[in-house]
Amino acid sequence: MYKEKLRKIEKNIYELPKEAGMHVPGRIFFSEKMIKEVEEDSLKQVRNVALLPGIIKYSIGLADMHVGYGFPIGGVAAFDLDKGVISPGGVGYDINCSVRLLRTNLTKQDILKKQKEVLDALDRKIPSGVGRGSKFQMTRSELNKILEGGAKYLVEKGYGVKEDYLHTEEEGQMKDANASKVSDTAIRRGIGQLGTLGAGNHFLEVLFVEEIFDLEIARAFGLKKDQAVIMIHCGSRGLGHQIASDYIKKMEKEYGFQNLPDRELINAPIKSSLGKDYYSAMCSAVNFAFANKQLITYWIREEMKNLFPKIKIDVVYDVCHNIAKFEEHFIDGKMQKICVHRKGATRSFGPGRIEVPEAYRKVGQPVLIPGTMGTASYVLVGTKKAEEMTFGSTVHGAGRVMSRSGALRKIRGEDTKKQLNQKGIEVKSGSWKSLGEESPEAYKDIEEVVKIVHELGISKKVARLRPLAVVKG
Amino acid sequence: MSMNVDEKFKFLEHTADIKFKAFGNSLKEVFENSALALFNIFYDKKVEEKKAYKIKVNGSDFENLLYNFLEEFLILFDSKNFLPCRIKSIKFNEKKFKITAVVLGDDISNYKANVHVKAITYNGMFVKKQKNNWVSQVLVDV
């Protein structure tokens, strides 16, 4: 039992001590309340990650951690560039599953007056759920440009304004992307899906700013009380899933998996050509996901303009949840370039970092934490403390506590809809089943998760958002 | 938990994703029933048999072969909008880890499918013989 081995270091920080084979200890950022319910298998995964060569400092499980495949979800692991590895399982199948927040010049009251029209318009325009393809048709060569140019390329084609990509992690384009490293199969899976939300936990929400915790930083992010905002949560769709799968198989073929405790932990040395190829392909999927949200943003602007002719919509920020990146961090007294895997985790850089958009560089980057349907979502700000404690990372959401089938036994989609309606939230979903599976009760309490990261100081509360209309995949 | 010998597959508890076990009297059958479990995740009601696709996959071991076999349906799902429902025929070369199969189904747009499967995973995956029966375990990422 790994749970019994946990040692409390201080409030909200637990250590999984180093034992045979582990290069580093595990570090779990849970509250006392949550640690009692920590999944044994997720601790085992934290331990397994610590077995990988070149891992630095510790294998991290954040407050929203739950069992993933290979690496836990809500996990962070950083690797030395010379001795370390890059692993598709450390990024996840939904490469750059990510969140974009838009601010508007509307208020909660403006939305409430047209709540149903807003929901209908967005649901009609933006394909969500299973098997609803995109109206955006493109050629292979155009797709290649998107894979290498990301949101920036789409903006240059007229689908947005410069600030859209400037207010996106990596400025909306991972420059190491190389479309020639993406398989034909991945292309076939993705080419019809640009501008679609997908299903499962992905969504599009219209919310309002319910409470401000830090006035100065909220002002820097362009947020104020009762303002209407829009959140988009989706990823790189079938294209990213196939890239992950393709490289898992390639790495197995090249390196074998016999020595791994879990076949999903397959990896390649960062320096190897296969490691580099995966990174280039992964960057292409990241760009696809950025472009995906850029196109959705474009359509949101079109639809909202019909309903509110004077509306202005700006991108607050766009953060990645599933990604591996080369970043500079302070390790053992000196700045060092390392490879940080964030799987179900958000970058949380504090003030001054060059990676943070100029508009926010004085205060730190916006961190966007989607709640579950009907519960609050949060805007936080990145901190120096995160850079010291978690390789500049924080949580990505609430994290599931109930299986989908478990949720369905307890909760009917119809009841979820009724409950949401009673709270004044309008909702549209691909199916009743999906609504039941994604019911708020199936997730950890977002309030508790946010409280822990705020107390730890790895990101600080700025604003709480409350949903008004939800389009669920 | 007792096993019903006629049972083709069953779903197991998993927090974030969907896990199943499939059963069969032969390797061929356990692969076929694994596919049926996946089809059931896509859509658990009746699907018309209006379209057919032929698939060919290779593998390096049984797990890898099962992964590749099941992945073909995700690829058809995303790239052809194809909702599968039945394996019409399956040829299995156990020594060379090769499968040729014909799958029947319909266009997704005719149904209100619920789940989009992102990927087949190796997490806890196995294909093995237990006494006289074959059993597989698969966790899919949704």
Q: For A420-467, give the DSSP string.
A: HHHTT-EEEES-HHHHHHT-GGGB--HHHHHHHHHHHTSSEEEEEEEE
Residue A436 lies in a domain: no
Residue A208 lies in a domain: yes
* Structure-token match 């949380």, residue found: A348
Chain A: residue whose CA lies nearest to B109? A131
Confidence (pLDDT) at A398? 81
CATH architecture of B9-141: 3-Layer(bab) Sandwich (3.55)
Confidence (pLDDT) at A414? 87
Dump pLDDT digits (tens) for A211-242. Answer: 999 999 999 999 999 999 999 999 999 999 99
Confidence (pLDDT) at A372? 80
Dump pLDDT digits (tens) for A59-85. Answer: 999 999 998 889 999 999 999 999 999
Residue A304: pLDDT over 90: yes
Interface of B with A in 102-131 (CB under 8 A): 108-109, 111-116, 118-123, 125
* pLDDT-above-70 percentage for chain A: 100
DSSP codes of every residue in A11-79: TTEEEE---TT-SS-EEE---HHHHTT--HHHHHHHHHHTTSTTB-S-EEEEEEEE--SSSPEEEEEEE
Number of domains within chain A: 1
Residue A176: pLDDT over 60: yes
Nearest to A433 among B79, B114, B120 (CB): B114
Q: Is A406 close to B13, i.e. CB distance below 8 A? A: yes
Identify the DSSP state of A397.
S
* Domain range annotation of chain B: 9-141
User: What DSSP element (H or E) covers A307?
Assistant: helix A273-307
Q: What does the alpha-carbon distance between residue B19 and residue B16 come to, in Å, rounded to a whole number?
A: 10
- Of A288, A294, A199, A296, whose CA–CA distance to A240 is shortest? A288
pTM of the model: 0.95
Q: Is A400 close to B14, i.e. CB distance below 8 A? A: no
pLDDT bracket for residue A430 (50, 70, 90)? confident
**Annotated active-site residue in A167, A233, A241, A396:** A396
CB atoms within 10 A of CB B122: 26
| Residues in B touching A397 (Cβ below 8 Å) | none
Q: What does the alpha-carbon distance between residue A251 and residue A55 come to, in Å, rounded to a whole number?
A: 18
Residue A159: pLDDT over 80: yes
| Mean pLDDT score, A315-341 | 97
Partner A contacted by B83 (CB < 8 A): yes
How close, in Å, is residue A227 to chain B by CA atoms? Answer: 33
**Mutate which of A130, A132, A197, A288 to disrupt the B interface (most B C-beta within 10 Å)?**
A130
Residue A430 lies in a domain: no
Residue A221 lies in a domain: yes
Q: Is B75 close to A192, i.e. CB distance below 8 A? A: no
Q: What does the alpha-carbon distance between residue A41 and residue B100 come to, in Å, rounded to a whole number?
A: 36
| Average pLDDT of chain A to the nearest whole number | 94
Residue A414 lies in a domain: no
Chain A: residue whose CA lies nearest to B107? A131
**CATH code of the domain in which A392 resides:** 3.90.1860.10
* pLDDT-above-90 percentage for chain A: 82
Partner A contacted by B78 (CB < 8 A): yes
Confidence (pLDDT) at A355? 97
One-letter identity of residue A15: E
Residue A174: pLDDT over 50: yes
| Mean pLDDT score, A43-52 | 98
| Residues in B touching A70 (Cβ below 8 Å) | 123
Active site residue A321: no
Confidence (pLDDT) at A389? 97
pLDDT bracket for residue A367 (50, 70, 90)? very high
- Of A54, A84, A60, A68, whose CA–CA distance to A275 is shortest? A84
| Residues in A touching B74 (Cβ below 8 Å) | 189, 238, 241
Residue A33 lies in a domain: yes
Q: What domain range is A389 assigned to?
A: 2-401+443-472
Confidence (pLDDT) at A442? 81
Confidence (pLDDT) at B2? 41
| Residues in B touching A71 (Cβ below 8 Å) | none
Q: A213 Cβ partners below 8 Å, 6+ apart?
A: A460, A461, A462, A463, A464
Confidence (pLDDT) at A371? 86
How close, in Å, is residue B51 to chain A by CA atoms? Answer: 16
Q: What does the alpha-carbon distance between residue A427 and residue A109 come to, in Å, rounded to a whole number?
A: 18
Task: Provide the token pair at A187.
Answer: 């292309």
Nearest to B78 among A68, A94, A238 (CB): A238
Across chain B, which has 142 residues, the per-10-residue mean pLDDT values are: 67 84 96 97 94 97 97 96 96 95 95 87 93 94 88
